[in-house]
């Protein structure tokens, strides 16, 4: 499970912004209590998603980190420095107000009650994990000599920032590590830009390709359903067991165990690739069989080692602390 930090003001929740953009004061995780019908209070959580032009969506949940149906999904807008959420629901109506310090609301109709939540930071327990002895370090902030652009082999043109993170420079092309691997464990950290007006595949899109062929999607799909083309999905193969995507601008982790496909002496594939993926400390794929390379993969021979391929999909996604333990 994620680590839950002390309650902070919403404006201080997320890591420093990408490219000078400001962090939204309302967006992110909230946690608190729900009281219904005079019964004992229960826990309640919320994901508040910035949707651009002062609009917000709030998923009210019984708990974080599980694939559960929302208690309610509210639509709201910024009114004089606070978000007013319109009533939503059928027999039971939920409504709320968020002022950046508290998210409070009412439940009316078949059930009656109230809720109150405070902002929380939930960071991956593997964030900042150091490479063990013998690990192959691919990115530690000291340079990009270990990377080239896929297809043409040119030196990496992505931007190495002052804090050591490597940021995609759109339309320069995807990059691939010079070191190549078969079976291995990968640790990689990433964060997406704040693009509240964007939707779908245009919102913080990139991808991490194991052996250059098998993608674990990177996307700002915070608060969405968690499909195979969203963050943590194996593109067009498998949806994550749970959508563990953090809010944009927050550092996230993938810890991936990868077993390359197997071939016999004639070159016939005898076993498909296998992947176990842990996203922000929660397992989202368990020894998943990946029957084919995913879309937009790099070039090469599946029977041979391949580099770690990071996708340029036109958005300024950042990466850091990338290392591999070969098996």
Query: Which neighbouring-strand residues pair with 190?
Result: 252, 319
- Predicted local distance difference test score (pLDDT) of residue 22: 52
Instruction: Identify whether the C-beta of residue 67 lies closer than 8 Å to the C-beta of residue 81.
Output: no
* pLDDT score for 13: 36
The total of other beta-carbon atoms located within 10 Å of residue 225's CB is 9
pLDDT-based confidence at residue 245 (cuts at 50, 70, 90)? very high
Given the structure tokens 């420095």, which residue do they identify? 81
The CA-atom distances, in angstroms, between 30 and each of 63, 268, 286, 316 are: 11, 51, 28, 27
Check whether 202 has a pLDDT greater than 90.
no
- Indicate the SS3 state at residue 18: helix
Q: CATH code for 136-326?
A: 2.60.120.560
**What CATH number belongs to 3-123?**
2.40.128
Does pLDDT of 55 surpass 90?
yes
In the chain, where the domains are located: 3-123, 136-326
7 neighbors 116 (Cβ within 8 angstroms):
no
Query: Which pLDDT band, with edges at 50, 70 and 90, does 209 fall under?
Result: very high
- Write down the pTM of the prediction: 0.92
- Torsion, Cα of 11, 17, 20, 21 (10° steps): -60
Question: For the segment 58-103, what is each residue's pLDDT rounded down to a tens digit?
Answer: 999 999 999 999 999 999 999 999 999 999 999 999 999 999 899 9
Find the mean pLDDT for residues 288-309.
93
Contacts of residue 253, defined as CB under 8 A and 6 or more positions apart, other chains included, come to 124, 126, 127, 129, 187, 188, 189, 190, 278, 279, 280, 281
């Amino acid at each position: 499970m994620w680590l839950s930090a002390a309650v902070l003001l919403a404006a201080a929740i997320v890591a420093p912004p990408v490219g000078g953009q400001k962090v939204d004061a309302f967006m992110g995780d909230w946690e608190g209590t729900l009281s219904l019908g005079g019964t004992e209070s229960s826990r309640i959580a919320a994901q508040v998603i910035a949707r651009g032009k002062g609009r917000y969506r709030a998923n009210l949940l019984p708990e974080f980190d599980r694939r559960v149906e929302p208690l309610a999904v509210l639509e709201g807008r910024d009114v004089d420095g606070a978000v007013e959420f319109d009533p939503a629901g059928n027999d039971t109506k939920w409504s709320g107000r968020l002022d950046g310090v508290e998210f409070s609301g009412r439940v009316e109709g078949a059930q009656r009650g109230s809720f109150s939540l405070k902002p929380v930071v939930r960071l991956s327990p593997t964030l900042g994990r150091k490479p063990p002895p013998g690990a192959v370090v691919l990115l530690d902030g000291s340079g990009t000599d270990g990377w080239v652009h896929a297809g043409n082999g040119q030196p990496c043109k992505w931007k190495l920032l002052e804090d050591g993170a490597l940021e995609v420079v759109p339309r320069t092309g995807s990059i691939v590590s010079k070191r190549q691997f078969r079976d291995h464990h990968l640790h990689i950290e990433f964060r997406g830009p704040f693009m509240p007006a964007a939707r779908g595949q245009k919102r913080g899109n990139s991808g991490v390709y194991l052996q250059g062929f098998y993608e674990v999607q990177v996307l700002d799909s915070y608060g969405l359903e968690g499909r195979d083309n969203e963050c943590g999905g194996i593109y067009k193969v498998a949806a994550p067991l749970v959508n563990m995507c953090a809010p944009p601008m927050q550092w996230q982790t993938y810890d991936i165990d990868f077993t390359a496909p197997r071939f016999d002496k004639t070159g016939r594939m005898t076993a498909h690739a296998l992947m176990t993926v842990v996203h922000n400390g929660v397992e989202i794929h368990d020894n998943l069989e990946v029957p084919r390379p995913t879309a937009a993969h790099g070039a090469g021979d599946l029977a041979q080692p391949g580099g770690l391929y990071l996708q340029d999909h036109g958005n300024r996604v950042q990466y850091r602390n990338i290392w591999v333990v070969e098996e």
